[in-house]
A = this chain, B = another copy of it.
Amino acid sequence: LEEKLIFEIGSTDTTGVDFAVSPAVDSRLGNLARTDAIGLPGLSEQETVRHYTRLSRQNYAIDLGLFPLGSCTMKHNPRLNEKVARMPGFADIHPLQPQSTVQGALGVINELAVWLIKLTGMHGVAMTPKAGAHGELCGLLCIRAALEARGDARQVVLVPESAHGTNPATAAFCGYKVEDIPATPDGRVDLEALKARLGPDVAAVMITNPNTCGLFERDMKVISDAVHAAGAFVYCDGANFNAIVGRVRPGDLGVDAMHINLHKTFSTPHGGGGPGSGPVVLSEALAPFGPLPYTARMEDGSIHLIEEENVGAEMPQSFGRMSAFHGQMGMFTRALAYILSHGADGLRQVAEDAVLNANYVLRSLDDVLDAPFGASGPCMHEALFSDKGLAEGFTTLDIAKGLIDEGFHPMTMYFPLVVHGAMLVEPTETESKAALDQFILALRSLAERAKAGDEALKGAPYHAPRRRLDETLAARKPVLSWIDPDLAEAAE
């Protein structure tokens, strides 16, 4: 299971692509013709197919088994969506084609937008953000624009301890001062602490609901009312929308802005880390400030794209463009196909089954693993455990690596930070009971081994393409690109 690098097997003379012969012309490259060796190895098509096929087999993936990475919502990726995204009418159109030639594409954006608005009970939606964190940026930009529009220069964003790391990073990136809000012992936002901190300097509260402890924030409406009363806005991290879609509308809870990770709730594939897509639904107060470009359905049924040119008439308060084009079209087609497949009834069932599966895991294991918020009510779509009770020297990491040997992807480790040795398990609604039972059995056995101090566990994984990797070495002496050993030797 060692696959050499392309730089070790390819040559700059080899190619897997044929081209027509170039016609002879007088060069117009000026004096800029590239003369240096670039150093890009080529492979024939056969060798290319083999290299990447063999590499793929060193990955774990949702197509191979349960992938219970908490907060990541690794659900089944239907192949219909891949097929739809590849229709030439979607895959092979340029973002700057005349609008008359892309009415279907604008129609997809508009139809998806309508679904997102109705599912969340909000007023508008910004479709261009490229991922969840980009959506957070979008939401904060809307808030900042709305505040500026009323001449209000608030400088503080409140973020609960249990928030995703992107929340404070986003607020800081936008120039805000970030302040933490503590959690209560039962794993929720400390309402009194929050209320106490609200004031005229607070621009927004960024809150995750369901939160990263896997719990629903019971006081969400009260929080929203308090935030609004203080003249601030509520940003909701929508990473966990999967737990409530079809059963609860964030708009009914007073949320002003929330990003929706299409690659979580609506199943666009993660692809080894991206691309994502993070449309942001907006309340009536924030919608006028959303980014360009924007789609609007006209009375004649045609769909217009609102850009810099016509923004004056249509959306004068827009804060402007936040990416070059219209957003992640390739993800919109997939998400829309997914949404239409489920429909209103199916999406409600999604939330129910996701929550059912998580509670089933929680209650099937809380006798062998510590569930720090097990008494705080049902969990939503993820079950949280801690390392409390493991034998001396045994950690969450050991259990995670042990799961690899059992044929599963590990759960999320050491997150949320508020729980020591956290293990966050999100099965998702696309797992069968049989698959959950197998997983529960495996995790139970690992918990028992870790409690009994089985030293073998500390060497796990044994049955993976690699044993534990030395991350410290990687960070201490970073090797970030391939260096020809011959050249490196010659240089020494």
Contact A434 B9 (CB under 8 A): yes
Contact B50 A63 (CB under 8 A): yes
Find chain B residues with CB under 8 A from A47 CB: 432, 435
Q: Does A44 sit at the interface, judged by CB under 8 A?
A: yes
Contact of A78 among B45, B431, B435 (CB under 8 A): B45
Q: Does A174 sit at the interface, judged by CB under 8 A?
A: no
Q: Does A150 sit at the interface, judged by CB under 8 A?
A: no
- Number of chain copies forming the complex: 2
Name the residue on B nearest A52 (C-beta): B63
Find chain B residues with CB under 8 A from A431 CB: 46
Contact of A46 among B44, B46, B49, B430 (CB under 8 A): B430
What's the least CB distance linking A160 to chain B, in Å? 34
CB-contacts of A336-357 with B (<8 A): 341
Bound form: Cα–Cα A76–B79 in Å: 26
Find chain B residues with CB under 8 A from A341 CB: 18
Find chain B residues with CB under 8 A from A78 CB: 45
Name the residue on B nearest A4 (C-beta): B434
Contact A430 B76 (CB under 8 A): no
Given the interface contacts A9-B434, A434-B9, does A53 sit within 8 Å of B46 by beta carbon? Answer: no
Bound form: Cα–Cα A46–B431 in Å: 8
Find chain B residues with CB under 8 A from A18 CB: 341
Q: Does A312 sit at the interface, judged by CB under 8 A?
A: no
**Cβ contacts A26-59/B at 8 Å (1 or 0 each):** 0000000000000000001111011001100100
Find chain B residues with CB under 8 A from A79 CB: 45, 49
Q: Does A313 sit at the interface, judged by CB under 8 A?
A: no
Contact A64 B50 (CB under 8 A): yes
Contact A432 B57 (CB under 8 A): no
Find chain B residues with CB under 8 A from A57 CB: 57
CB-contacts of A264-319 with B (<8 A): none
What's the least CB distance linking A11 to chain B, in Å? 9
Q: Does A389 sit at the interface, judged by CB under 8 A?
A: no
Contact B9 A44 (CB under 8 A): no
Q: Could you write out 6 A-B pairs with CB less than 8 Å apart?
A: A9-B434, A44-B430, A46-B76, A47-B432, A49-B76, A53-B63
Given A44-B432, A45-B78, 15 more pairs with CB closer than 8 A: A9-B434, A18-B341, A44-B76, A44-B430, A45-B79, A46-B430, A46-B431, A47-B435, A49-B63, A49-B79, A50-B63, A50-B64, A50-B65, A53-B63, A54-B64
